[in-house]
Structure 1
Amino acid sequence: MELTLLGTGAPAGLPEPDCRCARCAAASGPEARAATSLLVDGTLLLDLTPGPALAAARAGQSLGGVRQVLLSHPHDGPALEVPAGLPSPVRVPDRQELALISGHRVRALALDAPGTGYRVTGPDGRRLLYLPPGAAPAGTPLSTPVGTGPATGSGAGPHTDEPRDGVDGPYDVVVLDVLGRPDALARLREVGAVAATTDVLAVHIGHDVPPGPELHRRLAAAGARAVPDGTTLTVGAPAGPGTLPRRTLVLGGARSGKSLEAERRLAAFPGVVYVATGGSRDDDPDWGARVAEHRERRPATWRTEETCDLVPLLDSDGPPLLIDCLSLWLTRTMDEVEAWDDTLWERGGATALAERVSALVAALRRTPRHVVAVSNEVGSGVVPATPAGRRFRDELGRLNSRFADECEHVLLTVAGVALPLR
């Protein structure tokens, strides 16, 4: 199966007409994107981009062989431009299926938002999933019974001999709104519809994320990628070496966006365990408000554990861990080893803390889990007035350095911008 992405942008394109935002101003060259449209094997067109014939010509393709045009957007979606000679666009009813004379089979999937998703199976058995912007499969993908009759369209006919029950393995390629609905990708991973071998392509890209390196960095963290308009891919061919790190450390100052960055890096993965090292403080309303803010923006499918006992979590197999944060872990650990008292620090507190840090770093080195950890970056200029304050500053700097040594990715967030350090 061959797939040509005639457009990869949001319905309004990128840059948006008459938009003067900084992100639209930077969207030029390969980062400029027309509305998303996919041409499959030169015979099936999924959605229409403005000037589709010209877009196909720029990609070295022709629309002359197209026998079916399918729409995925809601009925009140963007206006359509249908070139002369193309079949009239149609929408396949949910849970119904059509078979094309080219040997392609298309099944319409019900979604949790307006629009229609399509599963396309090529004559070679390769499988493609395409979702419209802002949508995810309703319920469990691929497990809904097919409709009672075939959809109609050019070259369409019934097809009923394929198994319907359960998820029948991962797709070869998934094309969806990764940035707008990372939870859709998480859901597909959870049911096995997306595996390590699946090529995840981000489309419907608008100006919510800066184009260029930042766009591609965020997608890589989700195990996805974006390609320029006009790119032709062979479905099932290797997409290149994976860039998904197993261990990531996100550093930053107060309100720098470090926690949001860490959460974003795991938003496309199911069953994340959020490890809150700060615990609860019933006598501190401000702390309670901060905790509530974090909880409200986390996906409902994530599980929270309030603990500083990180080594057993790192040593056990399971879903990804988000540890927020190491500075609070250090505070609690320094409490336990009585590191704040100068005399007790000299008599054994320093040794006890070093042993705890070494155990944590060793567990991170051997962990089988996907880990994203958050920590504060302190001591960039102000010298604490007390020995205990200087001790905490120094020990946090050492902890961050040792933790970073074991991480494939290290980022520093400044003013909401994540700067890759490694």
Structure 2
Amino acid sequence: MEILLLGTGSADGWPNPFCRCDSCRSAEVVRGQTAALVDDVLLLDCGPEAPRAAVRYGRSLDTVRHILFTHGHWDHVGPMALLMRHWTGAGAPLDVVGPASALVLCRDWVGPDDPVRFVEVAPGDDVRLGDYRVRVLAAAHGSDLGADAVLYDVSRGADRIFWATDTGPLPDATLAAVAGAGYDAVFLEETFGNHTGHGTEHHDLPSFAATVAQLRASGAVVEGTDVVAVHLSHHNPNEVELTAVLADSGARPGRDGEVVTPGQRRATRTLVLGGVRSGKSAHAEGLLAGEAKVTYLATGGVREGDTEWAERVRLHRARRPASWQTVETIEVAEALRAAESPVLLDCLGTWLTARMDLHRVWDDGALDGVNRDIDEFVDAWRACPTVAVAVSNEVGSGVVPPAASGRLFRDLLGVLNARIAAESDDVVLMVAGRPLRLPAQ
């Protein structure tokens, strides 16, 4: 399966567009209403924002043959999508599946000759939709809807996922039904963060942790399960703190536009490129969000008397989980070879600058020492025994630097980036906070 997260936010998203709270003002990731597109064929919820999100992420919905609604709340059911489809003259059949509260909102948006089949479901149902087996499970949500909200256990071949939004702590019948499932991925709602007095049928951080623990104890969540928190709101702390708290449960926050591929081998070496303030460091940190312990190789060093640099360093340190170990060093080859836990190296540009300073390249222009350092770094990157993520500046897209030293640095960093990319499993280019995965050669 391929699951594209069209949205990972609550009804009002995160940040809330009308809010100026600390959580909203500090949000580095914009999250829309929670929905997902599976294999370009099956939609899990389809609120009013989902169709446009699909287009934004380069997908068409013309191949969708099944829509699964969890309940009738407006952020999960956007029936206008059915009319949009009708206007194109679509002739392919479409299954619209969900509890009565959701389907009643959709029926008037379908023309009499539209090839749309409504399938009303309830907890305990087991239905076949094309290549997918869908088990319908009870949610703890929606007393204002007649208490008919549902969750979905979706499998295709050997892949199996659990779509669990919206719900509070899972009913006993649902916990029993998922026992031993060994899901590849679980998408579990976590709406209220540190606000535990909400009195609603949603999860907050403590109840989320308790539910994940129950799923682990029952064998629904196993060692390889990707546990992704969705339906996130501004009641949560900032991204870095949230990531650290979720990591304690072996979970992580989902991000809009993220593609989850159950069973795919995790990249062991990832290079994240980007310009200034492109979001490259935050994205790199997010890649290791689920790791309890990470060695952060900070290559920028300490610049005595530079208050602006000191503030940058302070902010970077403040957003890292407390369990991460920061090592200030430019001897990165040795650190990579000796790594016993995942490594995040930030960044190649400051490392290269330090090596050029060390070899006095700016004085005599001799590059032999720097070239040897680059060779050693590439060898160590290739041999690193743990998961490793490196951040680097993409400096080749701007104007030609006016000074010879600037041109030399640009050229050497371009060479270093290309060599590290060639030895990486995954290369991501960050543009305006959006990750673009670069294809292999």
TM range (shorter): 0.5 to 0.7
Superposed CA deviations along residues 4-56 of structure 1, whole A, max 9, x for unmatched, are xxxx976645589777996488598459874579xxxxxxxxx989427999x
Matches of 2:319 and 2:432, distance apart in 1? 19
Q: Residue in 1 aligned with 2:195? A: none
Aligned residue number for residue 424 of structure 2: 407
**Contact residue 11 and residue 35 of structure 1 kept, 8 A:** no
| Aligned positions of 1:171-250 closer than 5 A | 176-177=228-229, 180=232, 182-183=243-244, 186-189=247-250, 209=256, 214-216=257-259, 220=260, 225=261, 239=262, 241-250=263-272
Contact 2:139–2:168 (8 Å) recurs in 1: no
Cα 1:35/1:20, change in 2 over 3 Å: closer
Instruction: Summarize deviations over 1:134-167 as a string: whole Å, max 9, x none.
Output: 44457986999x9xxxxxxxxxxxxxxxx98x99
Change (3 A) 1:397 1:141: same
Q: Secondary structure at the match of 2:122?
A: coil
Is this contact kept in 2: 1:262–1:372, CA < 8 A?
yes
Letter in 2 for 1:358: D
Preserved contact between residue 268 and residue 388 of structure 2 (Cα < 8 Å): yes
2:117 is aligned with 1:63 = no
Map of 1:3 onto structure 2: none
Does residue 120 in structure 1 map to residue 145 in structure 2? Answer: no
After TM superposition, give the deviation of residue 168 of structure 1 in Å: 12
Provide the residue aligned with 1:361 in structure 2: 378
Aligned partners of 2:230, 2:325: CA distance in 1, in Å? 22
Report what 2:144 is aligned to. 80
Q: Residues of 2 paired with 1:245 and 1:379: CA distance?
A: 26
Unaligned runs of at least 5 residues, structure 1:
1-7, 38-46, 90-113, 147-162, 195-199, 226-238
Q: Which amino acid aligns with 1:322?
A: L
- Alignment match, 1:276: 298
The answer to whether the 8 A contact 1:35-1:50 is kept is no
Provide the C-alpha distance between the structure 2 equivalents of 1:137 and 1:52, rounded to a whole number of angstroms: 33
Match for residue 433 of structure 2? 416
Q: Compared with structure 1, are the counterparts of its residues 53 and 130 closer, same or farther at alpha carbon in structure 2 (3 Å cutoff)?
A: farther
Aligned-partner Cα distance in 2 for 1:408–1:172: 19
Asked if structure 2 preserves the Cα contact closer than 8 Å seen for 1:341 and 1:388, the reply is no
CA offset digits 1:215-236 (Å, max 9, x no partner): 31xxx4xxxx5xxxxxxxxxxx
Question: What's the CA shift string for 1:338-366, capped at 9, x where partnerless?
Answer: 11112xx33xxx11111111011001111
In structure 1, the residue corresponding to 2:377 is in which secondary structure? helix
Q: Which residue of 1 aligns with 2:275?
A: 253
Quick one: structure 1 residues 376 and 49, their matched pair in 2 at CA, closer, same or farther if it must change by over 3 Å? farther
C-alpha separation in 2, matches of 1:365 and 1:414: 26
Match of residue 190 from structure 2 = 133
Q: CA deviation at 1:297?
A: 2.4
1:306-345 superposed matches below 5 A: 306-342=328-364, 345=365
- The alpha carbon displacement at 1:398 in A equals 1.0
Deviation at 1:70, TM superposition (A): 4.8
Q: Does 1:288 align with 2:318?
A: no
SS in 2 for 1:177: strand
In the TM superposition, what is the alpha-carbon distance from 1:182 to its structure 2 partner? 4.6
The aligned amino acid for 1:116 is P
Is the contact made by 2:298 and 2:329 (CA closer than 8 Å) also made in structure 1? yes
Query: Is residue 48–residue 80 contact of structure 1 (8 Å, CA) maintained in 2?
Result: no
Deviation at 1:295, TM superposition (A): 2.1
How has the CA–CA distance of structure 1 residues 389 and 171 changed in structure 2, closer, same or farther, with 3 Å as cutoff? closer
Greater CA radius of gyration, 1 or 2? 1
Give the structure 2 partner of residue 156 of structure 1: none
Q: Distance in 2 between matches of 1:143 and 1:410?
A: 31
Q: Is the 1:14–1:33 Cα contact (8 Å) retained in structure 2?
A: no
* Alignment partner, residue 155 of structure 1: none
In 1, distance between residues paired with 2:8 and 2:208? 26
Paired with 1:64 and 1:139, the residues of 2 have a C-alpha distance of 22
Residues 253, 414 of structure 1: 8 Å contact kept:
yes
TM-superposed CA distance for 1:328, in Å, is 0.3
* 1:329 Cα offset (Å): 0.3
Residue 188 of structure 1 aligns to a residue in which SS?
A: coil
Paired position in structure 2 for 1:377: 394
Q: Which residue of 2 aligns with 1:395?
A: 412
Q: Give me the whole-angstrom Cα distance separating, in 2, the residues matched to 1:371 and 1:184.
A: 22
Contact 2:274 2:394 in 1 (8 A): yes
Is the counterpart of residue 170 in structure 1 residue 170 in structure 2? no
Alpha-carbon contact 2:99-2:120 (below 8 Å) kept:
no
DSSP 3-state at the match of 1:286? helix
2:289 and 2:220 map into 1 onto residues whose CA distance is 24
Shift in Å, 1:183: 4.3
User: CA, structure 1 residues 403+143, in 2 after alignment: closer, same or farther (shift >3 Å)?
Assistant: closer
The correspondence for 1:267, drawn from 282, 289, 294, is 289
Query: Percent identity of the aligned residues?
Result: 32
Deviation at 1:416, TM superposition (A): 2.0
Q: Quote the residue 2:102 is aligned against.
A: 51
Describe the shift of the 1:126–1:215 C-alpha distance in structure 2 as closer, same or farther (beyond 3 A).
Answer: closer
- CA distance in structure 2 between the partners assigned to 1:62 and 1:21 by the alignment: 23
